[in-house]
Structure 1
């Protein structure tokens, strides 16, 4: 297999995770507020979604065909309501007097799993990233190469997760977060609700048959 394909798959997975988005904001609150362990559990759950969307993107690239939009419209709708619920909860969070974080996620792995699997941008972002970084050798792609490309992508995801967990759990980041926690949490809540509106805006027209062909 050409080295360019392996390098492209690794870098595509790395950049896919490092690009800021809703999951990054969630990791900021969980990691800085509850520590690296909770952040690691969140990213472990999110990794499942990363692998699913990257697999679908690679299948689409190799097969040179679209997977359709209905599935992603449904996921976008679900993600929109989920993000709206999280955003509303964050915006209305109240400071605690016991020194604990304003927002504590009891099951960070489950939160990461839901985030990863219901991200409406997961497929198009993965498709665009993998296509851009593997375009130079795309003519040499075959379905037999899918397992090794997924394995290399997994290493890229893992490297990116380690980088984010290391940064988010750093002492200076945690101190900054605790100092301005109330402002950060409310702003994050507004951003989550903004992401929710965007997800619903792009998903609802397709399900209602309003989207132009």
Structure 2
């Protein structure tokens, strides 16, 4: 199995990658500001559940399909972009009352968890990134590469939970103060909708 001399630099690299601005941590930031810390943490758990899918795909070679097949890559990214546009549409049609009701609804938390999963799983760039990143820290001389990939993926997920959890905590604190005003709630919701549109366009135009 991999030694601490390999896992420690991999963990630090994973922390830095999680801190780099990207669709996932922006999603955590906006949802935490809109709905609070708990919502942000649930989004984080959803995104990390998606990372489990990507880790498994890389460990068992499924990600190679998305790297080799332009059709599979395009289909998945367009589905993801369409889903983000759907979320933006839901936000834009919300009033201040429905926003407040959605924030109080436990069901909305369940939706946020599912949204985190879908958003992460439908981004084929994550699997391709893992396919390029994880093998750099694996060593065939140390046993099963599949088990090593799963271990590295697990370490990456832990680092993501720590960073995204911190983002959720900080953004949730600010959002709790801003959300006291119904007008501010609507403005923040519209801004989140614009972020979703931007993320959808970015995903739709991404190259392999």
How many pairs does the alignment contain? 197
In structure 1, what is the Cα distance between the partners aligned to 2:28 and 2:131? 23
User: Of residues 165, 168, 173 in structure 2, which corresponds to 1:165?
Assistant: 168
Residue in 2 aligned with 1:193? 197
In structure 1, what is the Cα distance between the partners aligned to 2:29 and 2:180? 11
Contact 1:14 1:156 (8 Å CA) reproduced: yes
Q: Which whole-Å deviations, capped at 9, do the CAs of 1:35-89 have from their partners, x for residues lacking one?
A: 22222222212111123334545677xxx99842443322101001101111222
What TM-score, normalized to structure 2?
A: 0.71
In structure 2, what is the Cα distance between the partners aligned to 1:15 and 1:58? 23
Helix, strand or coil: the match of 1:100?
helix
Helix, strand or coil: the match of 1:121?
helix
In structure 2, what is the Cα distance between the partners aligned to 1:99 and 1:186? 11
What TM-score, normalized to structure 1?
A: 0.70
Helix, strand or coil: the match of 1:10?
helix
Change (3 A) 1:88 1:147: closer
The unaligned stretches of length 5 or more in structure 1 are: 207-213
Residue in 2 aligned with 1:88? 89
Residue in 1 aligned with 2:125? 121
Question: CA RMSD for the aligned pairs?
Answer: 3.7
Residue in 2 aligned with 1:156? 159
In structure 1, what is the Cα distance between the partners aligned to 2:37 and 2:12? 24
Helix, strand or coil: the match of 2:96?
coil
